[in-house]
Amino acid sequence: MSFEAAVHAQAIELNRLALDMTAAAGSGHPTTSMSIGHLVTVLMFHTMRWSPEYPDYPTSDRLVLSEGHAVPAVYAACAKLGVMIGKDPSKRRKLTVDELKKLRDASSELDGHPNPMEGFPFFDAATGSLGQGLSVALGLAEAAILDKTDRRVYCIIGDGESREGQIAEALDQLVDRKLINVLPIFNCNEYGQTDRVSPQQSAETLAAKLTAAGFEVKTVDGHNPAQIKAAFDAFAALTPGKKPMAVVASTVKGWGAESVQGNGWHGKPPTGDQLKRALAELEQKRVELTSSLTSQDAFTIQPPADARTPDYATGELPPLAQTMKQMDMESVLQAGTLATRRAYGIALRALCKVNRDVVALDADVSNSTFADMVRKDASMADRFIECKIAEQNMVSVAAGLSAAGKIPFVSTFAKFVTRAYDQIEMAINSGANLKIVGSHAGITLAADGPSQMSLPDVAWFRSFSTVKDHRGNPGCYVLQPSDAYAAYRLTEVMAEYQGCCYMRTLRAETEFIYNDDVVFNLGGFEVLAQGRDLVICAAGYMVHEANRAVELLDKAGVSATLVDLYSLPFDTDALLDLVQANDGKVLTVEDNYGGGIGSAVADALVDSGDGFQLKQMHVRRIPKSGRTIDDLLKMCSLSAEDIKKNAMQLLGV
């Protein structure tokens, strides 16, 4: 059988299976799948160098399906090829065609959208929330370069999906970074969910936009095997210095079955007579386009290159004092204050020295987050990825890096992290080993005003801390170091942990509270003053303000216990014991909106059923600019005096 006929035969088979499995599931997107049957066939049966036996082999070429709802096409190909699946890596089995009918079942690895953590290691990341896949592909491509492997990364993107701004961000980043090992493939099937795709995302306009953005564009008929192969061959032949490439494929949504084409068939599996008719139309196509039955004989999948074991070991992070000495920064340490964001930068650089897997990403603010300490060090500058002002892309690139075994640290202002919350959630769903560091957190940023302040961030990240991830750990740890030592060590703790962490750092210079002997743990807290009348829980900057309040209270005859609650979640039992020893009274103090530390403590207290009392202090108005930190603390009623007043009220004195 000719290559062309073999591709048609296989694509038709994938389309048939897409119809069958979505009909069995009672939901799904068969027509989108059918638009990529040929592209998937050429990629998975011919172009990609990979192994169905080891779908996550470290040097394999990768396929990122950005338009995740087209996944039945890939499931079908995997079933035909007997790709290994299974949640437990030691107990994987070959996917069979029979199993396709379990699509979307609670017991099945074949989730509604690509979902590697549910047992489908062919995929690197969960997709389905649109527009994120190309960024993930960029992360995989960056990791391949760092690892000196010639892995290629293919990414299929829907036309409607490419309206998402993140796609534009990823395209710019691809050109900026001169990545010739990743290929964006635009699947232009012309129909979205409710209507036709906008002319702004037509094959012609996309091609024009890509050309303007600096791409060599190959426009192909996405159902023409020879044209597809030629485009992929041209991509494989790219050499450094050449323009990056993109493929714009004109396709038909529901290819092969006219009765399910056009508007009204998005996400709707035909059943009964409609299914029969569609299958009959496909069969007719087979007769037209192929001379014999489906056969894989015409295909040979090239295996991936042998993976090498990394020739480097991970070292220990030295104490902060030692690192500072090495950097000729001892005077800074002696000054007695150091911003936690700067301590993070110092830690990140020191980490890069001892751990080759650590990669730093920033969004044009590295001189504010201090991630530029990596950027400016020539010995590690290749592990700094400048993402410019495009936070969504940055986070998904990090997810891709993580999927390739890297430990990505993503930094920008905590406020601007918000831009990528959906990408962070998808990364958590992907099991990504993602470290997010948001600087200038809370109201103490002061002068720049609320457009630069992170305020509901603790509530959002805390929500993930109430959930177990696929490894049985909290979905996210929220970390708020109050001094440089804490920030330095917690950066190391994050690197050592496998999973998602969010650390808030501060613009302000803060006094030292700790030293190199203090151990910080995920889930831990520190008791900074041991009293008996009430517990004050604070984190980050507010520890310092609470500390001043403890002194004021002491003068007023009140003995307060001060807890630096630097981690969410925290050791609930230990905190409850402390509270019990303090007459059951707690005051929480935060520099953000509610739903954060205060609610976390409230959750713990009322779960116990004892008669505890909690007063929460947090930002209760939309703040504005003020020139000093104290202006803001006063504006938001969070000064040491306010804390004292609230403590007295709580005690009824």
**CB of 173 vs its own copies, minimal distance in Å:** 8
- The number of residues that bind its own copies (CB under 8 A) is 129
Q: In what order do the strands lie in the sheet with 585-589?
A: 526-529, 560-564, 534-538, 585-589, 613-617
The answer to whether the Cα torsion of 455, 460, 463, 465 is positive or negative is: negative
| Strands 93-94 and 84-85, bridge-based pairing | antiparallel
- Please, which of residues 365-384 interact with its own copies by CB under 8 A? 365-368, 372
- Please, which of residues 93-112 interact with its own copies by CB under 8 A? 104-106, 108, 111-112
- Please, which of residues 574-593 interact with its own copies by CB under 8 A? 592-593
- Please, which of residues 210-229 interact with its own copies by CB under 8 A? 211-214
Q: If binding is defined by CB under 8 A, does position 205 make contact with its own copies?
A: yes
- Please, which of residues 521-560 interact with its own copies by CB under 8 A? none
For its own copies, the closer of residues 106 and 287 by Cβ is: 106
- Please, which of residues 21-80 interact with its own copies by CB under 8 A? 25-28, 68
For its own copies, the closer of residues 150 and 172 by Cβ is: 172
- Please, which of residues 436-475 interact with its own copies by CB under 8 A? 447-452, 455-456, 458-460, 462-470, 475
**CB of 515 vs its own copies, minimal distance in Å:** 32
Q: How far is CA 173 from CA 28, 137, 142, 425, in A?
A: 32, 11, 11, 22
For its own copies, the closer of residues 314 and 637 by Cβ is: 637
| Chain mean position to CA 204 | 32
**Given 393, 396, 402, 547, the residue binding its own copies (CB under 8 A):** 393
- Please, which of residues 590-609 interact with its own copies by CB under 8 A? 592-596, 598-603, 605-609
Task: Please give the sequence-ordered ranges of beta strands (E in DSSP) within 334-440, or none if there are none.
Answer: 358-362, 384-386, 407-413, 435-439
**Given 62, 223, 504, 618, the residue binding its own copies (CB under 8 A):** 618
d(CA 106, CA 30): 20
- Please, which of residues 154-173 interact with its own copies by CB under 8 A? 160-161, 163-169, 172
**CB of 460 vs its own copies, minimal distance in Å:** 4
d(CA 59, CA 303): 9
Q: If binding is defined by CB under 8 A, does position 631 make contact with its own copies?
A: yes
Is residue 641 part of the annotated active site? The answer reads no
**Given 382, 496, 573, 610, the residue binding its own copies (CB under 8 A):** 610
Residue 385 phi, psi (nearest 5): -115, 110
Q: If binding is defined by CB under 8 A, does position 397 make contact with its own copies?
A: no
Q: How far is CA 556 from CA 530, 543, 551, 553, 639, in A?
A: 16, 20, 9, 5, 17
The CB density around residue 653, as the number of other CB atoms within 10 Å, is 10
Report the phi/psi class of residue 598: left, alpha or beta, with left for phi > 0 and alpha for psi in -120 to 50: alpha
d(CA 216, CA 326): 47
Cβ atoms of 235 and 244 within 8 Å: the answer is: no
For its own copies, the closer of residues 206 and 252 by Cβ is: 206
For its own copies, the closer of residues 82 and 112 by Cβ is: 112
| List 13, 391, 425, 590, catalytic entry | 391
Cβ atoms of 149 and 56 within 8 Å: the answer is: no
For its own copies, the closer of residues 49 and 196 by Cβ is: 196
d(CA 298, CA 320): 61
Q: Indicate which residues carry an active-site annotation.
A: 391
